[in-house]
């Protein structure tokens, strides 16, 4: 990008000298013969750096500086002043000028001052872009949950972020494992370096190996160039080994060695190379069971599981559902540039009561769908059918003649209602009802007898 420099200078000769100098530097130059004109140019163009003479007829350079700063507090203004009036330059610095040069100036000095200002402008911009990225994705503000279970997870994240300890994140699909892994990375000193993720279950073994550890040119057919591999590409940053439970046994041993030695041997290479990446592993399996059934190496499990974070399923923290629903509604409203919609009580109660097998991801998708299908208000009708059926207002506490139900009849209807809402999945229903599976079977058997 060409830097845009504005010159405010009332002497014509000086203006053209400065223009030549700066164009020679590759700048796009705007010139103004008065502070008024300079202000016009400043407010209608994307000026990166302003160079202004201090003494000009009409509005002077100091006033121009003031005006520019009210338009953009971060604007970079360089003041040019006669050697004899350095005092006014000091006054300008106090008012927020970036720097000053004294006239007559040595060309190289002036250019160096402008270059510094341009670089500072670039840094501002990069910084802002980075900030926005960080704020958008990884602050806790974007991770919703007031339930004690999630608060506990946040506390662990805060504690471990700045260590190098391996973290194992367990949780059902869609519970936010990747979100938490990113939060750990972006809260750590490694935040400015890469966060990379690989799904260990998505690649065939040989590909996964070179994806992780890299390869040398010619190591196998198709290896036309050296490949660094994810361990080294995330050097200084964080590597998320997602679906670690799917990792093939032969690679498990190589991974263990890499973690122990902090070095990897690329496929086809004979010497290992060091890496410094923080390792986070995630899985929706219970790794201890995998170990017990000899599908996952016990030694690797202990290596990865220095810090354990378990994300509870959404149905075990229903108090978070309302907040998440509101969060997603405002997220989609922002994305689609429309106003936030309200949600009816019936729709909300169906969402709260539903058995969320796909957890937060499923909830997010349901809200997105409802947002698109609804008018001003998100209603029960806008929810997917299986969620709709969980609405509590389906549940009538009187029989068709208007008589109140007995306790047993109420219980029977409630249990059948819950079963319907989870597609007759009995263990899911038992979990919602807070009873053993065997108790549920006993009750169902009894209803058949009635």
Ligand X SMILES: Nc1ncnc2c1ncn2[C@@H]1O[C@H](COP(=O)(O)OP(=O)(O)OP(=O)(O)O)[C@@H](O)[C@H]1O
| Greatest Cα-to-Cα distance within the chain, rounded to the nearest angstrom | 107
| In the complex, least distance from residue 334 CB atom to ligand X, rounded to whole angstroms | 14
Q: Does 145 bind ligand X (CB under 6 A)?
A: yes
Decide which of ligand X, Mg ion, none touches 251; Cβ closer than 5 to 8 Å per partner kind: none
Q: Does 85 bind ligand X (CB under 6 A)?
A: no
Decide which of Mg ion, ligand X, none touches 176; Cβ closer than 5 to 8 Å per partner kind: ligand X
**Please, which of residues 152-191 interact with Mg ion by CB under 5 A?**
178
The tokens for 12 are: 């014509």
**Please, which of residues 263-292 interact with ligand X by CB under 6 A?**
284
Tell me the CB-side half-sphere exposure of residue 317, using CA atoms within 13 A: 20
Of 209, 211, 290, 364, which lies in the binding site for ligand X, with binding defined by CB under 6 A?
364
| Region of 48-56, 57-65, 137-145, 379-387 interacting with ligand X (CB under 6 A) | 137-145
Residue number, 151 or 427, with CB nearest to ligand X: 151
| In the complex, least distance from residue 284 CB atom to Mg ion, rounded to whole angstroms | 8
Q: Does 144 bind ligand X (CB under 6 A)?
A: yes
Rg of the chain's alpha carbons, rounded to an integer?
32
- List the beta strands (DSSP E) in 295-354: 307-311, 342-343
Decide which of ligand X, Mg ion, none touches 144; Cβ closer than 5 to 8 Å per partner kind: ligand X
Cβ atoms of 283 and 245 closer than 8 Å: yes
For residues 265 and 304, what is the distance between their CA atoms, to the nearest angstrom? 20
Decide which of ligand X, Mg ion, none touches 370; Cβ closer than 5 to 8 Å per partner kind: none
Decide which of ligand X, Mg ion, none touches 75; Cβ closer than 5 to 8 Å per partner kind: none
DSSP 235: T
For residues 206 and 136, what is the distance between their CA atoms, to the nearest angstrom? 36
- Whose tokens are 């339930």? That residue is 147
What do you get for the CA distance between the two ends of the chain, in Å? Answer: 80
Q: Does 143 bind ligand X (CB under 6 A)?
A: yes
For residues 16 and 7, what is the distance between their CA atoms, to the nearest angstrom? 10
Residue number, 285 or 386, with CB nearest to ligand X: 285
Decide which of ligand X, Mg ion, none touches 179; Cβ closer than 5 to 8 Å per partner kind: ligand X
What's the chain's length in residues? 450
DSSP 84: G
- List the beta strands (DSSP E) in 124-194: 167-171
Binding site for ligand X (CB under 6 A): 143-145, 171, 173-179, 284, 324, 327, 360-361, 364
Binding site for Mg ion (CB under 5 A): 178
């Amino acid at each position: 990008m060409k830097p845009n420099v504005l010159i405010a200078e009332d002497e014509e000769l000086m203006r053209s000298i400065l223009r030549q100098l700066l164009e020679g530097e590759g700048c796009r130059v705007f010139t103004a013969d008065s502070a008024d004109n300079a202000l016009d140019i400043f407010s209608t163009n994307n000026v990166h750096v302003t160079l202004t003479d201090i003494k000009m007829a009409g509005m002077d350079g100091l006033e121009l500086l003031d005006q520019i700063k009210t338009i953009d507090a971060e604007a970079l203004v360089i003041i040019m002043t006669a050697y004899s009036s350095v005092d006014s330059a000091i006054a300008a610095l106090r008012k927020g000028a970036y720097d000053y040069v004294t006239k007559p100036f040595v060309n190289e000095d002036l250019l160096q001052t402008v270059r510094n200002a341009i670089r500072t402008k670039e840094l501002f911009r990069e910084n802002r872009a980075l900030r926005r990225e960080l704020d958008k994705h990884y602050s806790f503000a974007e991770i919703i949950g007031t339930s004690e279970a999630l608060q506990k997870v946040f506390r662990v994240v805060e504690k471990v972020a700045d260590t190098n300890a391996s973290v194992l994140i367990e949780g059902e699909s869609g519970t936010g494992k990747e979100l938490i892994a990113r939060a750990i990375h972006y809260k750590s000193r490694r935040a400015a370096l890469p966060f990379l993720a690989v799904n260990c279950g998505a690649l065939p073994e040989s590909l996964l190996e070179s994806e992780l550890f890299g390869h040398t040119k010619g190591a196998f057919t198709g290896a036309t160039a050296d490949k660094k591999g994810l361990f080294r590409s995330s050097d200084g940053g964080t590597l998320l080994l997602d679906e670690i439970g799917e990792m093939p046994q032969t690679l498990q041993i190589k991974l263990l060695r890499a973690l122990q030695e902090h070095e990897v041997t690329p496929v086809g290479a004979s010497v290992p190379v060091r890496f410094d990446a923080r390792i986070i592993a995630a899985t929706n399996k219970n790794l201890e069971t995998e170990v017990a059934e000899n599908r996952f190496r016990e030694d690797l499990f202990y290596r990865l599981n220095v810090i354990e974070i378990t994300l509870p399923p959404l149905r075990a923290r229903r108090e978070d559902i309302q907040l998440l629903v509101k969060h997603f509604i405002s997220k989609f409203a922002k994305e689609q540039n429309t106003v936030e919609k309200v949600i009816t009580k019936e729709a909300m109660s169906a969402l709260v009561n539903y058995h969320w097998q796909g957890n937060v991801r499923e909830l997010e998708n349901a809200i997105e769908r409802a947002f698109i299908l609804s008018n001003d208000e998100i209603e029960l009708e806008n929810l997917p059918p299986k969620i709709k059926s969980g609405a509590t207002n389906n549940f009538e506490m009187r029989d068709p003649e208007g008589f109140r139900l007995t306790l047993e009849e109420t219980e029977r209807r409630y249990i059948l209602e819950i079963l319907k809402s989870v597609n007759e999945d009995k263990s899911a229903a038992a979990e919602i009802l807070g009873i053993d599976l065997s108790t549920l079977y006993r009750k169902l058997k009894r209803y058949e007898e009635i």
